[in-house]
Amino acid sequence: MNARTAVRLLALLSMALLVMGTVGAQGEPAFRIGILDALDGPLSAGAQLAINQINAAGGIRGADGQQYHLEAVIQGPDVQGSLSTAIGNLSNAGVVAVVGPTTGDQVRNNLQALQNMNVPVLTAAIDDTLLANESTDRLFRARSAEQLHGQALANIIVRDFAITDMQTVLLDPSGTAGQVGFALAVRQLGGQLGTAIIFDPANETIDNLVRRVTQRTPQALVLYGAADVANQFYIGLRAAQYSGIVAYGGADDPAFRAGLSPALLDGLIAPLSWSYALTDESSEQFVLDFARATGRVPGALEAAGYDAVLLIAAGLQRPQSLQESLLALSNIAGAQGPLSPSRLPLGETSDSVAVVQFTASGGAQVLARFENGIRVTEAGDGRPPVVIATPTPRPTNTPTFTPTLDGVYATVLSQALNVRTGPSTVYDILGQLRNGEQVRLIGANLDLTWGVLNFRGLQGWISLAPNLASVAGDLRTLPVVAAPPTPTPGPTSTPAPTATPSQPDVVVLSAVPAVITWGTLTNVSVTVQNAGAGQTGQVAFAASFDPGAVFSGITIPAPGLGSGQSQVINLPVTLSGTTGFYSTVIVADLNNEVNEGPGEGNNGSFIFNYKLDRATSSAGTITLNSGVGINLDGLGGDDLFFSGGTMSAPGVCSPNTASCIGALTVGLDFNSAHHDAISSANGVSLNALGLAFGQTVGFITDGGKRGVLRVDAVSASSVTFSYRVYL
């Protein structure tokens, strides 16, 4: 018997003992739940606690009226780290659902095998790209999305700490999606982010990277990438006496914690899906239950495993298939807070994020908690969190519109509404929205029959036919978005062949920045990958950017990209013209140089949405008492004056020239407003304006500078607002 066969037999025997031991202890039928984690892993520990608690309470009553208990079938990676044997064992065990895997790479490397199990898979991976690339609707995320983590962290750094000089450090390609999401969130908040610092392990050491970073002395660094590399880099930073703020989302990973004393961790910030430092009732009860059962303090992965089992148990008691039941669940009380797949984007189960800061004593304190992007405070006495900010409303289960501060929204009336790549049924389907789901529209076609939205990081289109969706707000205020090229139809007799594992497959994964500065040379950083096998050879990438159809391209010389290799390329571009929102298609393998197999003529493409806007001279948050004015442009006298709930622009308003104010009338909010939207044509033509909470206001200073502000709090005696003034 060879070693590989022995390992497989040992795994099968372990699985059999786990299952038979549980069956022998119960006299009733069972639902088996697969756990893709080590026996002593965090997902296993959290999931097993939930299973034990449910069984101790009598199990669950299935849709057939019969009583069932739950069984865990735990299968971890083999000695090489592969999950293929574990997934095969779970398939043979007849599990009804799977909890795990833990990382995005584990999901991507085993996606086909996981899909072939034909059961719901609740992964603890937070990568934003996972659900966008999954088409079966059986993949769920048991923790909040990485995009929400980036938004929460940006809120703390930009608003709470008022840091204006920050940079991201990309330690390896696995952190690209998170880095992109954080960069977008910073810019949406009006913050400034330096060019990402990218570690090139083939040509430099960690020590060299530390020197590169510390020479720039940014106020804050946000790290993205593998935990073991982040550990080495963080230790190097502290050894180099870097005193700025450091944030890392994997701060609770044991690989990152290795060799780090509490004193070294002091001050480190981390956005987490859950933390033992949370003081709400459900979190405190989970910590207590877990500590009693294991003698350890749980982390975010333990909470995800626990909540995944709670969702599966709730779904098994409904009459539909488990997949349909999971999608319909709402307000299931979990360790991470309310779990509501029906109210969240497809495949999401939680939207809770806690931003914590570690202390010198080895503990952590919660800086803020966010739910669906809404900042909440921890009551600390068992009461629910208190909302302290008002965001875009989350979707509800009824097709009714909730009034919002800015924008145009569509509510789905049909049971399901396809989201397509363009405004016609000839375009490919990106995914679906469900009945009652509300989405914000960011554009429309010329005749206002199709709306544009951000869908899983891509530009999506939905039909606005009255039997499919209802619209709240004025569609005419939305920018008109040109339709992308229609898909080239393939042969009618047989489907077009696709690339096989023996061939390269060139794709574009992401592009940043989300905001291009007007009149300034900007490198659009594009992450590209050979998702197939073999070497690509020379390969070109290009795009034409509006306004002005400015072409930019770059060629990666031979030997090109190896199998699975990712690389960040730069497309330099200088744009001028009217500021606003634009979209372009980044084309991979522009010159058809890569042999991707039969049908290779269909080049890879990526829709890149961006805002063209002018640079700012100042930005921040200000509180004014009644009777006080402020100079925002550094020219002349006061630009704005507040009194009794009204903001005025001292002097005589000269439209589009000086001393004007007004509420923007083009459906733009603070984040999406841009220089050319602040004009007399869009309502900025008054001397004074009564303010309301959440209002977006445009103004022109006495020196002729254009600016925008958002009212964060207002009363007769004071106003607090966020602002930016353009150069």
CATH of domain 408-477: 2.30.30.40
Write out pLDDT tens, residues 303-329: 999 999 999 999 999 988 999 999 999
Show Cβ contacts of residue 81 under 8 Å, excluding neighbours closer than 6 positions. Answer: none
pLDDT band at residue 132, thresholds of 50, 70 and 90?
low
Per-residue confidence (pLDDT) for residue 130, from 0 to 100: 77
**The pLDDT of residue 456 is above 60:** yes
Per-residue confidence (pLDDT) for residue 487, from 0 to 100: 66
Per-residue confidence (pLDDT) for residue 594, from 0 to 100: 86
Closest residue by Cα to residue 88 from 69, 121, 113, 111: 113
Average pLDDT over residues 471-475: 80
pLDDT band at residue 601, thresholds of 50, 70 and 90?
very low
**The pLDDT of residue 595 is above 50:** yes
pTM for this predicted structure: 0.54
**The pLDDT of residue 211 is above 70:** yes
Average pLDDT over residues 191-214: 89
Residue recorded with tokens 């208190």? 386
Per-residue confidence (pLDDT) for residue 662, from 0 to 100: 93
Per-residue confidence (pLDDT) for residue 444, from 0 to 100: 86
CATH of 146-272, one of 3.40.50.2300, 3.30.450.20, 3.90.580.10, 3.50.50.60: 3.40.50.2300
Write out pLDDT tens, residues 662-686: 988 656 778 788 999 999 888 899 9
**CA-CA distance, 699 to 706, in Å (whole number)?**
6
Average pLDDT over residues 154-170: 90
Residue bearing the bigger pLDDT, 219 or 19:
219
Residue bearing the bigger pLDDT, 595 or 149:
149
CB 553 within 8 A of CB 590: yes
Helix 300-316 vs helix 281-294: crossing angle, to nearest 10 = 100
Average pLDDT over residues 564-568: 88
Of 93-107, 227-241, 382-396, 630-644, which range is least confident? 382-396
Per-residue confidence (pLDDT) for residue 589, from 0 to 100: 85
CB 492 within 8 A of CB 430: no
209: left (phi over 0), alpha (psi -120 to 50) or beta: alpha
pLDDT band at residue 603, thresholds of 50, 70 and 90?
low
CB 178 within 8 A of CB 229: no
Per-residue confidence (pLDDT) for residue 16, from 0 to 100: 40
Per-residue confidence (pLDDT) for residue 628, from 0 to 100: 94
**The pLDDT of residue 4 is above 60:** no
Residue bearing the bigger pLDDT, 700 or 547:
700
Per-residue confidence (pLDDT) for residue 649, from 0 to 100: 93
**The pLDDT of residue 52 is above 90:** yes
Q: Where are the domains of the chain?
A: 3-143+279-343, 146-272, 408-477, 506-613, 616-726
Of 48-57, 446-455, 650-659, which range is least confident? 446-455
**The pLDDT of residue 123 is above 70:** yes
**CA-CA distance, 285 to 283, in Å (whole number)?**
5
pLDDT band at residue 571, thresholds of 50, 70 and 90?
very high
CA 187 to centroid of chain Cα atoms? 15
Look at the domain 3-143+279-343 and name its fold: Rossmann fold (3.40.50)
Residue bearing the bigger pLDDT, 20 or 560:
560
The values of phi and psi at residue 158, to 5°, are -75, -45
Per-residue confidence (pLDDT) for residue 593, from 0 to 100: 82
Query: What angle (nearest 5°) sits at the alpha carbon of residue 526, between those of residues 521 and 527?
Result: 155
Q: How many CB atoms lie within 10 A of CB 447?
A: 9
Show Cβ contacts of residue 541 under 8 Å, excluding neighbours closer than 6 positions. Answer: 508, 526, 528, 553, 554, 555, 556, 569, 571, 586, 587, 588, 589, 590
**CA-CA distance, 308 to 142, in Å (whole number)?**
6
Per-residue confidence (pLDDT) for residue 285, from 0 to 100: 94
Give the mean pLDDT of the chain: 84
**The pLDDT of residue 335 is above 80:** yes
Per-residue confidence (pLDDT) for residue 13, from 0 to 100: 39
Write out pLDDT tens, residues 392-415: 332 333 333 333 335 688 888 877
CB 485 within 8 A of CB 583: no
Of 153-162, 397-406, 645-654, which range is least confident? 397-406
pLDDT band at residue 384, thresholds of 50, 70 and 90?
very low
**The pLDDT of residue 135 is above 90:** no
Average pLDDT over residues 227-253: 94
189: left (phi over 0), alpha (psi -120 to 50) or beta: alpha
**The pLDDT of residue 516 is above 60:** yes
* Topology match between the domains 3-143+279-343 and 146-272: yes
Residue recorded with tokens 């200073």? 701
Write out pLDDT tens, residues 627-642: 999 999 988 889 999 9
Of 210-214, 465-469, 644-648, which range is least confident? 465-469
Write out pLDDT tens, residues 7-47: 344 343 344 433 333 343 445 799 999 999 999 999 999 99
**The pLDDT of residue 133 is above 80:** no
Per-residue confidence (pLDDT) for residue 588, from 0 to 100: 87
pLDDT band at residue 496, thresholds of 50, 70 and 90?
very low
Per-residue confidence (pLDDT) for residue 641, from 0 to 100: 95
Per-residue confidence (pLDDT) for residue 192, from 0 to 100: 80
Look at the domain 506-613 and name its fold: Immunoglobulin-like (2.60.40)
Average pLDDT over residues 437-459: 81
Of 119-128, 167-176, 228-237, which range is least confident? 167-176
